[in-house]
């Protein structure tokens, strides 16, 4: 809407005030992240003195070198990448598949299935009964604990279902006439035309997998199966820098401190998400909408 009327003084004041307010919000959001970045790029010993607010005082990549040379951190990173990629692929495929079945009106038992699912959104067994199930399935200290219990979500199913409903049924009917069965229709027709919602759920679940530290913390004891977030959690919350120090190759650099490695690890852990999300945002804003309005 172009407003060709002259702006009143009040309007101008409002606009100026609003812009300043928004700039403040942006600053408050970005600065903490910037602070971590510049401090991680500074020489570790020197950063201990504090006072690094805007730019590194003594630029040094030693902390990053230490991170990439530490086998513990890199193993944890590998576990995280693996569980994020695999977990996301399986979650999206499986949830979409079930959602496709649930979205077909002719499905016998559809109402009962939906009812069974809806209950799971509002009531659960709680931590201990869940833990016992995971234990009885022999998923403790097992990489699959990142994948199988997370491969389905009823909430995501609802988002998929409302998207699938909007697909013209002519597409499916044409494929049916060509002799495709329901699985074929799902794979060849539905998935390709549903890329916006697939991308949304993939991003949501990818972020969940990447950020999840709780699964690694309670179901995994073995160090080699720990994701990077659990690793960081132990360093951050339990303030035990011993773990980091222990995983550092001996005498690599005196200028590196456990604090500077912690910051560098945080940056390395966060970077992939920060790089990916601006590209996907047009998808997930739409996905959020579908999820919120109909969910």
Partner 1 sequence: MEASLMNVQTQSPHDLPLRPPPGREERRRSWLMKLRKQRYLQVMALLGIVWMAVFCYVPMYGIIIAFKEYTITHSIADAPWVGLEHFRAFFEDEELGNVIRNTLGISLIKLVIGFPLPILFALFLNELRAMRFKKAVQTISYLPHFLSWVILGGILTTWLAETGLINNVLLSLHLIKEPISFLAEPSYFWSIVVTSDIWKELGWSAIIYLAAMAGVSPDLYEAATIDGAGRFQKMRYITLPCIRGTIAILFILAVSGILNSNFDQILVLRNSLNESASNVIDIYVYQTGLLSSRYSYSTAVGLIKSIIALILLLFANSVTKRLNNTSLF
- Considering only residues 271 to 290 of the shown chain, the ones binding partner 1 according to CB under 8 A are 273-274, 277-278, 281, 285, 288-289
> Min. distance of Cβ 262 from partner 1 in angstroms?
6
Among 74, 149, 196, 255, binds partner 1 (CB under 8 A): 149
Among 16, 68, 85, 129, binds partner 1 (CB under 8 A): 129
> Min. distance of Cβ 125 from partner 1 in angstroms?
3
With respect to partner 1, which residue has the nearer C-beta, 180 or 250?
Answer: 180
With respect to partner 1, which residue has the nearer C-beta, 3 or 254?
Answer: 3
> Min. distance of Cβ 225 from partner 1 in angstroms?
17
With respect to partner 1, which residue has the nearer C-beta, 82 or 217?
Answer: 217
> Min. distance of Cβ 61 from partner 1 in angstroms?
19
Residues 51 and 124: their CA atoms lie apart, in Å, by 48
Helix 258-294, helix 71-103: angle, nearest 10: 0
Q: Which of residues 105-124 bind partner 1 (CB under 8 A)?
A: 105-110, 113, 116-117, 119-120, 122-124
Q: Which of residues 40-79 bind partner 1 (CB under 8 A)?
A: 48, 50-51, 53
Element (H, E) at 78: helix 71-103
With respect to partner 1, which residue has the nearer C-beta, 18 or 71?
Answer: 18
Q: Which of residues 18-47 bind partner 1 (CB under 8 A)?
A: 18-19, 21-22, 25-26, 28-30, 32-33, 35-36, 39
Helix (H, G, I), strand (E, B) or coil at 68: helix
> Min. distance of Cβ 95 from partner 1 in angstroms?
8
Among 15, 141, 178, 224, binds partner 1 (CB under 8 A): 15
Q: Residues 201, 98: contact at Cβ < 8 Å?
A: no
Among 101, 140, 191, 193, binds partner 1 (CB under 8 A): 101
Give the number of other Cβ atoms within 10 Å of residue 252's Cβ: 13
> Min. distance of Cβ 23 from partner 1 in angstroms?
8
Helix 154-165, helix 71-103: angle, nearest 10: 50
Angle at 22 between CA 16 and CA 25, to 5 degrees: 145
Residues 82 and 92: their CA atoms lie apart, in Å, by 15
Residues 28 and 133: their CA atoms lie apart, in Å, by 43
Among 170, 192, 250, 251, binds partner 1 (CB under 8 A): 170
Q: Which of residues 230-259 bind partner 1 (CB under 8 A)?
A: 232-233, 235-237, 239, 259
Give the number of other Cβ atoms within 10 Å of residue 144's Cβ: 13
Residues contacting residue 153 through CB under 8 Å, at least 6 positions apart: 91, 95, 205
Q: Which of residues 183-202 bind partner 1 (CB under 8 A)?
A: 183, 186
Among 60, 76, 77, 100, binds partner 1 (CB under 8 A): 100
Q: Is 146 in the site for partner 1 (CB under 8 A)?
A: no
| Short-list 96, 115, 88, CA closest to 160 | 96
Q: What's the 3-state SS for 14-64?
A: HHHHHHHHHHHHHHHHHHHHHHHHHHHCECHHHHCCCCCCCCCCCECCHHH
């Amino acid at each position: 809407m172009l407003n060709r009327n002259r702006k009143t003084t009040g309007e101008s004041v409002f606009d100026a005030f609003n812009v300043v307010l928004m700039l403040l919000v942006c600053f408050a959001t970005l600065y903490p992240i910037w602070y971590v970045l510049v401090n991680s790029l500074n020489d570790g010993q020197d950063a201990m003195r504090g006072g690094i607010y805007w730019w590194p005082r003594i630029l040094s990549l030693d902390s990053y070198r230490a991170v990439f040379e530490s086998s513990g951190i890199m193993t944890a990173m590998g576990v995280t990448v693996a569980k994020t990629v695999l977990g996301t692929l399986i979650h999206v495929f499986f949830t979409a598949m079930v959602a496709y079945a649930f979205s077909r009106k002719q499905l016998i038992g559809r109402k009962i299935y939906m009812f069974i699912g809806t209950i799971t959104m509002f009531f659960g067994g709680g931590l201990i009964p869940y833990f016992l199930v995971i234990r009885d399935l022999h998923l403790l200290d097992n990489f699959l604990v990142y994948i199988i219990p997370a491969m389905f979500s009823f909430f995501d199913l609802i988002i998929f279902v409302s998207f699938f409903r909007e697909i013209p049924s002519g597409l499916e009917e044409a494929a049916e006439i060509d002799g495709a069965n329901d699985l074929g229709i799902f794979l060849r027709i539905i998935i390709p035309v549903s890329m916006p919602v697939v991308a949304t759920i993939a991003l949501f679940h990818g972020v969940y997998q990447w950020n999840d530290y709780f699964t690694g913390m309670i179901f995994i004891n073995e160090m080699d199966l720990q994701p990077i977030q659990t690793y960081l959690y132990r360093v951050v919350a339990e303030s035990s820098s011993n773990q980091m120090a222990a995983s550092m190759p001996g005498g690599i650099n005196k200028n590196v401190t456990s604090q500077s490695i912690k910051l560098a690890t945080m940056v390395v852990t966060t970077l992939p998400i920060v790089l990916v999300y601006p590209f996907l945002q047009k998808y997930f804003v739409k996905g959020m909408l579908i999820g919120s309005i109909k969910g």
